[in-house]
Amino acid sequence: MVDLRSWGIREIYFPDRKIVVTSVELESGINNIINILKSLSEHGINILSCILQAHPDRPLVQTTLFLDLTDADIVSEEVSSLLRATSYVKRIELLDLPLNHGEARLVVFTLEDIHYLFGMLRELGNGGLAIMYHMGFRAGKALAERILSYFKDSKRSLMYTLLYNESLGHGKFKLEEYIERAYCRIVARELSECLEVKSDKPNSQLFRGILAGCISKLWDEEVEVKETKCIAMGDPYCEFEVEIK
């Protein structure tokens, strides 16, 4: 019997398709988004999914695209060049590897649902906070184990982890500093776990656990993750520092 949990979506559902995921940051404006989609379509690229994250007071839009290049007249490397040639695309990351999105299906919770579930755990006190942290830790470690089968570079693996979580709508992430097996600093904007939460101390447990589990596996070392800034405390973004214990 085949263990489907070890297979990516491409092997299970699309064994012969060339599927890639790309994250694009571009200037706000509906015409810019339409032009990107039109340009991709003109090259025979099938757009499987387009996830947009925007804010009315911000000049840039974040979009995650799942693309099928099977019948395209360009290869994945040329997709990056095509989009970078426009004046309004500011950043692009493209990954060509087996995807784990939807190994069975994606389950969507509203932000209100998430806050309700997390609120119940917080009412349990330190025990509930520990549950949230260790849920994240195990999820982060499992994700890192899958990623390491494709990337041998720890930094690139971490950047993919951040992109993966970003594509799921968990927030917008940037690796600000990185010293291999020693230290890194990550900025998280609009972290879903902390949105619309008011607190006098750092609020993140789940994502902090995800980082701890992931990076401890990537570095093969026990690490400590501290949330040094948090939007729940009124900071403009959440910030995490990771060090070897």
What pTM does this model have? 0.69
Question: Do 186 and 121 fall into the same domain?
Answer: yes
Domain that holds residue 81: 4-95
118 and 209 Cβ atoms separated by less than 8 Å: no
- Look at residues 95, 122, 145 and tell me which one is the last residue of a structural domain: 95
Q: Cα separation of 39 and 34, whole Å?
A: 8
Question: Do 46 and 121 fall into the same domain?
Answer: no
Amino acid at 84: R
Q: Cα separation of 193 and 200, whole Å?
A: 15
Question: Do 80 and 140 fall into the same domain?
Answer: no
Question: Do 87 and 203 fall into the same domain?
Answer: no
Name residues whose C-beta falls within 8 Å of residue 169's C-beta, 6 or more positions apart in sequence.
51, 53, 192
Packing angle between helix 126-147 and helix 206-219, nearest 10 degrees?
40
Within a domain: residue 164? yes
**Selected residue with higher pLDDT from 112 and 105:** 112
**pLDDT per residue over 200-237, tens digit each?**
999 999 999 999 999 999 999 999 999 999 999 999 99
Q: Cα separation of 27 and 14, whole Å?
A: 33
Angle at 163 between CA 157 and CA 166, to 5 degrees: 145
Within a domain: residue 25? yes
Q: Which of 106-115, 126-135, 143-152 has the lowest mean pLDDT?
A: 106-115
Q: Are strands 238-244 and 223-229 parallel, antiparallel or unpaired?
A: antiparallel
- Look at residues 30, 62, 95 and tell me which one is the last residue of a structural domain: 95
177 and 184 Cβ atoms separated by less than 8 Å: yes
Name residues whose C-beta falls within 8 Å of residue 235's C-beta, 6 or more positions apart in sequence.
229
Question: Do 134 and 198 fall into the same domain?
Answer: yes
Question: Do 73 and 128 fall into the same domain?
Answer: no
Question: Do 125 and 236 fall into the same domain?
Answer: yes
Q: Cα separation of 96 and 19, whole Å?
A: 7
Question: Do 174 and 117 fall into the same domain?
Answer: yes
Question: Do 204 and 174 fall into the same domain?
Answer: yes
**pLDDT per residue over 170-185, tens digit each?**
898 999 999 999 999 9
